Amino acid sequence: MMELSCAVQHYEWGKAGSNSVVAVLRQSADPTFLIDEDKPYAELWMGTHVNGPSIVSLDNVLLSDWIARNPGSLGKKLTATFGQQLPFLFKILSINKALSIQAHPSLDHAQELNQKFPHLYKDANHKPELAIALTKFEALCGFRSISDLKKHLQSIPELSTVIGDSLVSKFLESDEENVQNQLKQCFKALMTAEESLVESQLLSLISRLESSDENSKTEYQLDLLKRIHDQFPGDVGCFGIYLFNYIVLAPGEAIYLGANEIHSYISGDCVECMACSDNVVRAGLTPKFKDVETLCSMLQYNAEPPCKKLFQSISEDSNTSIFLPPVPDFAVAVIKVGNSSEYQLIPRDSASICIVVQGCASGENLVLKKGKVIFLNANQSMTLKTSQDSETFVCFQAFCNC
């Protein structure tokens, strides 16, 4: 096993200074890492992606180069499926400002986009992802149920005006057979509406809700609307809170986002694991390029309640639970060890990366304290030992699920 030094990304939506779990974990692992309280610390990247590659601390070499010299470390199944490379990218996110309304393409679609528009979609891989909350975590995920959508389109005249009354009427009258197509038409009309119309109707909606009773303010999520509107004034994505499921995850809860699933992270800290890609199709709440046509054409228009979006783990033993997404690229185990305890990690048949988020344990020749990141070879295990006065040891382990 080897300790890794991992890259920090300073995107402007990240939490500032020591408010960021990313910054705190990075400094805890390396006391020489100085936190700038005025700087955003958005993501910690663990893996071999070229935009933020990890380094083997002892040898001061890129993890990708070390793997190239030691291909047996990956495991036979991983190598047979993905070649001599890690297929996943492991992250910690600390979010202060809403991320873009976005979706990720399927593998075939990613290859097509990369071939046609390599300057926009720079790799040919898909990007399914799993987010596990470390703190209270807010997100928009998937389209609301049909009953919720119809209620909002009937009771929010500003939203109906932007989409167009004719399209809204067709959606309200649609039956089960064509409701998804009508939803697609409404969503595309919203996302392609004139900016001036969107801006005026958002201001009208906020003004109307501010003068309404407390029940209406709560029902129509005025606080959330104003918070996102303050971050992105006049942006059409602000209307997304009425079309998409608003989900609040407690620590330990998770959502899984497969191909073509609309989503936006709003705030909080999480562990995230994904296929090793940076392919994102955006259409709102961002200063970056918006590919509205591609997004509207690729989305799943399945309308489901928020409870359907929660992704459950399964127990492997009394100390380890595991999230197993329906893709071979990655899985994530959560390991918890109480004080004065000893626990042997379950060996994985692929290489894995572990990060400690709480507590401290000794393992082989390493002290695994908060923030430490280690790389384990395929089929490698280690015995974790905690002391009497330590808090519960918690680490997350990412590995290939092939």
Catalytic positions: 282
Residue 333: strand pairing partners = 322, 397
Phi and psi at residue 131, in whole multiples of 5°? -120, 125
Determine contact, residues 395/368, Cβ cutoff 8 Å: yes
Residue 268: strand pairing partners = 95
Which of 49, 138, 136 has the alpha carbon at shortest distance from 90? 49
Angular region, 129: left φ>0, alpha ψ -120 to 50, beta rest: beta
Helix, strand or coil for residue 24?
Answer: helix
**Which secondary structure element, helix H or strand E, spans residue 163, and what is its range?**
helix 157-163
How far CA 374 is from CA of 120, 334, 351, in Å, comes to 33, 15, 11
Neighbour-count burial of 97, counting CB atoms closer than 10 A to its CB (0-12 exposed, 13-18 middle, 19+ buried):
buried
The CA distance from 187 to 236, in Å, is: 11
Determine contact, residues 379/336, Cβ cutoff 8 Å: no
DSSP-assigned states of every residue in 292-360: HHHHHHH----B--GGGGB---EESSSSEEEE--SSSS-EEEEEEE-TT-EEEPPP-SS-EEEEEEE-E
Which of 234, 295, 276, 250 has the alpha carbon at shortest distance from 131? 250
Angular region, 134: left φ>0, alpha ψ -120 to 50, beta rest: alpha
Structure tokens at 164: 């167009």
The CA distance from 323 to 312, in Å, is: 7
